[in-house]
Structure 1
Amino acid sequence: MNQQLNQRQVPAPTARLTFRRMTEDDLDDMAALLGDPRVMRYYPRPKDRDEALSWIRWNQGLYRQQGFGLWLLTLRATGEFVGDCGLTPQQVEGVVELEVGYRVRAELQGNGYATEAAAACRDHARDVLDAKRLVAIIRPDNTPSQRVAQKIGLPFERDAVSRNGLPVRIHAASL
């Protein structure tokens, strides 16, 4: 795999969405997204502004080290901020897996953006990164995210415990 090439790339635009790397200039949008209790209802708690900045910096580190991370999503037609979606290495019961993750602004949920973005990230993982397996790590009560995982071809595989001790459902497939 050509690491330099991969570090420059983001998933191809979809019919309605574009992807780009997060920067510190995105702090207002990311703080609003990660601080929204509706968006973060399946997480231990919403993040504050400093935690949102740390989130951006964590992703910037992933871009440098891995060539991928969570990318900022915008509408192609208007440039409006939609959320984030991407790929991250995650430890699941002692094994590092490539996970697809997605978050969409509460007022934009239900429009298929998460499915569209996650499918593009799945394709990017398979076609550009040459990944052989992809997972989604989802809280058991988060049925909307489970539906997205299933729609992009990641069926339920097993129940597990997250690294912070919470129950999760692993959706996974070979690519």
Structure 2
Amino acid sequence: MIAATRFPPPTERLTFSQIVEGDLDDLAALLADPEVMRYYPRPKTREEARGWLEWNRGLYAERGFGLWTVRLTATGEYLGDCGLTPQLVEGVTEIEVGYHVRADRQGRGYATEAAAACRDHAREVLGVSRLIALIHPDNLPSQRVAEKIGLGFERTAVSRSGLPVRVHAARLRPAG
């Protein structure tokens, strides 16, 4: 683990940690689930999940943040991932809050709770002034999560994969 990497403190129900090699089986199952990945071009293979893990390890080293493993505090049960990643949107790099929750655990407020903790971490610890979420136009549950944490719809843009995305955004602190 990289000492400089900090993650949000535990919430009422959730704990966060770096994604590590020991999370690969859970992460691969999450990213291979057609229900979880229904708004992506396709589910990911195990090798692509390993790439996801490595991408986040690189973000931890370079930026001090990335997506984090999310677990239930009470049991340690793996729920998914949530965190902050740099995203290039129409030529501008912005910080995005992203979240994936196991299909069998969706609809219980975990994504909102985790995303709110990451929003607060972005503002209070990392000093991020603007936060976005890039969401498929048909992904109404994810849009509701973004709105619940204060990210309102701003515009439609084109993703790196060439697909339309809704940009939800909020200013977390005055521009400086």
Q: Which residue, 93, 96, 102 being the options, matches 1:96?
A: 93
In 2, the alpha carbon distance for the partners of 1:121 and 1:169 equals: 20
In 2, the alpha carbon distance for the partners of 1:150 and 1:48 equals: 31
- In the alignment, which residue of structure 2 is the partner of 1:154? 151
What CA deviation, in whole Å up to 9, does each residue of 1:118-148 have, x standing for no partner?
0000000000000000000000000000000
RMSD: 1.0
In 2, the alpha carbon distance for the partners of 1:39 and 1:96 equals: 26
- In the alignment, which residue of structure 2 is the partner of 1:47? 44
In 1, the alpha carbon distance for the partners of 2:85 and 2:129 equals: 14
Matches within 5 A, 1:24-173: 24-173=21-170
In 1, the alpha carbon distance for the partners of 2:116 and 2:72 equals: 16
Q: Which runs of 4+ in 1 moved over 6 A?
A: none
In 1, the alpha carbon distance for the partners of 2:155 and 2:99 equals: 20
Structure 1 residue 8: Cα displacement: 3.0
Structure 1 residue 20: Cα displacement: 0.1
Question: TM-score, structure 1 length as denominator?
Answer: 0.96
AA partner of residue 100 (structure 2): R
In 2, the alpha carbon distance for the partners of 1:8 and 1:84 equals: 16
Structure 1 residue 9: Cα displacement: 1.1
In 2, the alpha carbon distance for the partners of 1:83 and 1:172 equals: 23
Matched position secondary structure for 1:97: strand
Unaligned runs of 5+ in 2: none
AA partner of residue 154 (structure 1): L
What CA deviation, in whole Å up to 9, does each residue of 1:25-53 have, x standing for no partner?
11100000000000000000000111101
- In the alignment, which residue of structure 2 is the partner of 1:22? 19
Percentage identity across aligned positions? 69
Q: Which residue, 2, 7, 10 being the options, matches 1:10?
A: 7
Question: TM-score, structure 2 length as denominator?
Answer: 0.96
